[in-house]
Amino acid sequence: MSDRVDPRDARMDPDALYREDVITDRRIGTIRVLTPVRKDGAPDPARKPLYVGEAQMMTSMGPLPLSFEIDAADLAAAVALYPDAAREAFERAAREIQDMRRQAASSIVIPQGGAGFPPGGVPGGGKIQIP
Protein backbone atom coordinates (compact mmCIF):
# COMPACT_ATOMS: atom_id res chain seq x y z
CA MET A 1 0.00 0.00 0.00
CA SER A 2 2.61 2.59 0.95
CA ASP A 3 6.39 2.73 0.91
CA ARG A 4 8.35 3.82 3.95
CA VAL A 5 9.46 7.44 3.72
CA ASP A 6 12.09 9.22 5.75
CA PRO A 7 10.14 11.64 8.03
CA ARG A 8 12.60 14.40 7.13
CA ASP A 9 11.42 14.10 3.51
CA ALA A 10 7.66 14.37 4.18
CA ARG A 11 6.56 15.65 0.78
CA MET A 12 3.41 14.39 -0.90
CA ASP A 13 3.63 13.10 -4.46
CA PRO A 14 1.22 15.29 -6.50
CA ASP A 15 0.98 12.54 -9.14
CA ALA A 16 -0.18 9.86 -6.67
CA LEU A 17 -3.13 11.49 -4.92
CA TYR A 18 -6.30 9.66 -3.87
CA ARG A 19 -9.62 10.71 -2.37
CA GLU A 20 -10.71 8.34 0.39
CA ASP A 21 -14.29 7.24 1.00
CA VAL A 22 -15.32 4.88 3.79
CA ILE A 23 -17.97 2.26 3.06
CA THR A 24 -19.39 0.17 5.91
CA ASP A 25 -22.33 -2.06 6.70
CA ARG A 26 -21.99 -1.03 10.39
CA ARG A 27 -21.95 -4.71 11.29
CA ILE A 28 -18.97 -6.62 9.95
CA GLY A 29 -16.57 -4.59 7.94
CA THR A 30 -15.23 -1.46 6.39
CA ILE A 31 -13.93 -0.89 2.90
CA ARG A 32 -11.91 2.20 2.10
CA VAL A 33 -12.27 3.27 -1.52
CA LEU A 34 -9.23 5.21 -2.72
CA THR A 35 -10.25 7.09 -5.85
CA PRO A 36 -7.34 8.53 -7.86
CA VAL A 37 -7.44 12.30 -8.32
CA ARG A 38 -5.30 14.87 -10.08
CA LYS A 39 -3.61 17.61 -8.10
CA ASP A 40 -6.58 19.91 -8.80
CA GLY A 41 -8.91 17.35 -7.14
CA ALA A 42 -10.59 16.19 -10.36
CA PRO A 43 -10.94 12.41 -10.84
CA ASP A 44 -8.02 10.77 -12.65
CA PRO A 45 -9.52 8.17 -15.04
CA ALA A 46 -6.04 7.00 -16.08
CA ARG A 47 -5.64 5.16 -12.75
CA LYS A 48 -7.99 2.61 -11.21
CA PRO A 49 -9.51 2.94 -7.72
CA LEU A 50 -8.04 0.88 -4.89
CA TYR A 51 -10.15 -1.04 -2.35
CA VAL A 52 -8.79 -1.64 1.14
CA GLY A 53 -10.70 -3.81 3.60
CA GLU A 54 -10.44 -3.37 7.35
CA ALA A 55 -11.35 -5.72 10.19
CA GLN A 56 -10.30 -6.51 13.75
CA MET A 57 -8.91 -9.75 15.12
CA MET A 58 -9.48 -10.34 18.82
CA THR A 59 -6.32 -11.50 20.61
CA SER A 60 -5.41 -12.07 24.24
CA MET A 61 -3.79 -8.62 24.15
CA GLY A 62 -6.94 -6.96 22.76
CA PRO A 63 -8.15 -6.15 19.25
CA LEU A 64 -5.59 -6.24 16.45
CA PRO A 65 -6.52 -4.04 13.46
CA LEU A 66 -6.16 -5.73 10.09
CA SER A 67 -5.92 -3.93 6.77
CA PHE A 68 -5.88 -5.75 3.45
CA GLU A 69 -6.11 -4.88 -0.22
CA ILE A 70 -9.04 -6.23 -2.21
CA ASP A 71 -8.27 -6.75 -5.89
CA ALA A 72 -11.58 -5.63 -7.42
CA ALA A 73 -12.76 -3.70 -10.45
CA ASP A 74 -15.57 -1.89 -8.63
CA LEU A 75 -17.25 -1.51 -5.24
CA ALA A 76 -19.77 -4.32 -5.84
CA ALA A 77 -16.91 -6.74 -6.54
CA ALA A 78 -14.97 -5.47 -3.50
CA VAL A 79 -18.01 -6.14 -1.27
CA ALA A 80 -18.36 -9.64 -2.74
CA LEU A 81 -14.62 -10.37 -2.32
CA TYR A 82 -14.42 -8.91 1.22
CA PRO A 83 -15.08 -12.21 3.11
CA ASP A 84 -12.32 -14.14 1.32
CA ALA A 85 -9.83 -11.25 1.59
CA ALA A 86 -10.64 -10.85 5.32
CA ARG A 87 -10.25 -14.60 5.92
CA GLU A 88 -6.86 -14.55 4.20
CA ALA A 89 -5.78 -11.53 6.29
CA PHE A 90 -6.89 -13.30 9.51
CA GLU A 91 -4.96 -16.46 8.54
CA ARG A 92 -1.85 -14.45 7.63
CA ALA A 93 -2.01 -12.54 10.93
CA ALA A 94 -2.46 -15.78 12.90
CA ARG A 95 0.60 -17.30 11.16
CA GLU A 96 2.66 -14.18 11.87
CA ILE A 97 1.63 -14.22 15.54
CA GLN A 98 2.60 -17.92 15.81
CA ASP A 99 5.95 -17.18 14.12
CA MET A 100 6.63 -14.31 16.55
CA ARG A 101 5.77 -16.58 19.50
CA ARG A 102 8.13 -19.27 18.17
CA GLN A 103 10.91 -16.74 17.68
CA ALA A 104 10.41 -15.32 21.16
CA ALA A 105 10.46 -18.80 22.70
CA SER A 106 13.60 -19.81 20.84
CA SER A 107 15.42 -16.57 21.71
CA ILE A 108 15.55 -17.45 25.41
CA VAL A 109 19.13 -18.63 25.85
CA ILE A 110 20.57 -19.82 29.14
CA PRO A 111 24.34 -19.46 29.14
CA GLN A 112 26.32 -22.59 29.85
CA GLY A 113 27.56 -22.74 33.44
CA GLY A 114 24.32 -21.72 35.15
CA ALA A 115 23.89 -18.06 34.16
CA GLY A 116 27.49 -17.16 34.95
CA PHE A 117 27.52 -18.38 38.55
CA PRO A 118 30.28 -20.66 39.80
CA PRO A 119 29.55 -24.38 40.28
CA GLY A 120 27.39 -24.95 43.32
CA GLY A 121 25.26 -21.83 42.95
CA VAL A 122 25.41 -18.27 44.19
CA PRO A 123 28.36 -17.54 46.48
CA GLY A 124 27.52 -16.57 50.03
CA GLY A 125 25.61 -19.63 51.20
CA GLY A 126 22.18 -18.87 49.69
CA LYS A 127 19.57 -21.62 49.60
CA ILE A 128 19.15 -21.46 45.82
CA GLN A 129 21.47 -23.95 44.16
CA ILE A 130 22.01 -24.14 40.41
CA PRO A 131 23.00 -27.63 39.27
Q: Where are the domains of the chain?
A: 8-101
Instruction: Assess contact for 89 and 69: CB atoms under 8 A.
Output: no
pLDDT, one tens digit per residue, over 28-71 is 889 999 999 999 999 999 999 999 999 998 888 888 999 999 99
Instruction: Assess contact for 76 and 51: CB atoms under 8 A.
Output: no
pLDDT, one tens digit per residue, over 84-121 is 999 999 999 999 989 988 888 887 666 665 555 555 55
